[in-house]
Amino acid sequence: MKIIKKDSDEAATYRTNISGWVDSHGYFYGEDEEAARRAGSTHSECSNCFVIIEKSDTLCDDCKERSEIERYNKREKVEWYRDDVLYSDKYNVYFFSIRDIITYANDSVSEFDLYSLDDLRLILCEKVFLRNIEIDLWWGELDEDVSDDVIPILQDALDDFNTDLNEIDTKLWEPGAYRVSFYDRIDTDRVNND
C-alpha cells in the first residue's frame, strides 16, 4: 500500500471547477480542507514522537507501550498470595495459579519480552456476579389496579430468586484496580513438582 500522509498533495486537492476540497478517493468536502486531508490520507504521525503510523492510530507501538506501562504503574500495588485470579495487562491472559503463570512465561513469551514476572503487568481480578433482577423491570407492564396486590408477591419472588442468583459461582473474573507485587521469589522447581 502506498503511504499518503495528510500533508501530501496526493491526500487532497483543491478543485476550482467545483470550488472545494476533494480527497484522494474523489470525495468532495467543500471548504473543509482538514476533513478532506484526514479522509484522503492513509497514514498520520504519532502524536508523541511523530513516527509515521496507520491513520487509525494516534500513537506508535513504542509510545503505546510506554503509555500502558505508565497507566499500569499508577495502580496501587498489593501483595499476591497465590489464591486470587490474575490478569496480564500486557498479554491479555488470565492466570488461575502460579503454575499457569510459569507455564505461560516459559511457553508463550520470548525471553526478550520477559525479564521478570513483573513484566507480565499482572492485575488482581475481581469476581463477576450476575446482576440482580429489580422489580422496576416490569413497571410498564403492571396495571395500576393490579400493582398493589401483585407487587409484594413479585418482590418476594424476586428476593428469593436474587438470593439464589448471588450464590451461583459464575467462575467469571475481570481485571480489578490493583497491580500485583510478589511477596516472595517464585521457586519454579517447587512449582513444577507440586
SS (H, E, C) the chain: CCCCECCCCCCEEEECCCCEEEECCCCECCCCHHHHHHHHCCEEECCCCCCEEECCCCCCHHHHHHHHHHHHHCCCEEEECCCCCEEECCCCEEECCHHHHHHHHHHHCCCCCCCCHHHHCEEEEEECCCCCCCHHHHCCCCCHHHHHHHHHHHHHHHHHHHHHHHCCCCCCEEEEEEEEEECCCCCHHHHHHC
pLDDT (0 to 100) of residue 2: 87
In a domain, 57, yes or no: no
Together in a domain, 118 and 147: no
Residue 188 has a pLDDT of 47
With respect to residue 181, please indicate whether it lies within any of the assigned structural domains: yes
27 pLDDT exceeds 60? yes
Categorize the per-residue pLDDT at 184 as very low, low, confident or very high, splitting at 50, 70 and 90.
very low
Residues 113 and 143 in one domain: no
When comparing pLDDT for 114 and 67, which is higher? 67
* Residue 145, domain member (yes or no): yes
Looking at the fold, whether 80 and 147 belong to one and the same domain comes out as: no
Q: In terms of residue numbers, what domain contains 82? A: 75-128+170-193
Chain mean pLDDT for the chain: 85
pLDDT higher than threshold 80 for residue 185? no
Task: Decide if pLDDT at 183 tops 60.
Answer: no
Question: How do residues 50-63 score in pLDDT, each as one tens digit?
Answer: 999 998 899 999 99
Has residue 88 been placed in a domain?
Answer: yes
Tell me, yes or no, whether 97 and 114 share the same domain.
Answer: yes
| 69 in a structural domain | no
Residue 140 covered by a domain? yes
The answer to whether residues 83 and 160 belong to one domain is no
Total domains, the chain: 2
pLDDT of residue 191: 45
Q: Residue range 105-118: average pLDDT?
A: 71
> Which residue did the predictor score with more confidence, 140 or 69?
69
Higher-pLDDT residue of 133, 148: 133
Q: Of 131 and 183, which is predicted with more confidence?
A: 131
Is residue 146 domain-shared with residue 93, that is, in the same domain? no
> Is residue 147 domain-shared with residue 97, that is, in the same domain?
no
Domain co-membership, 93 together with 145: no
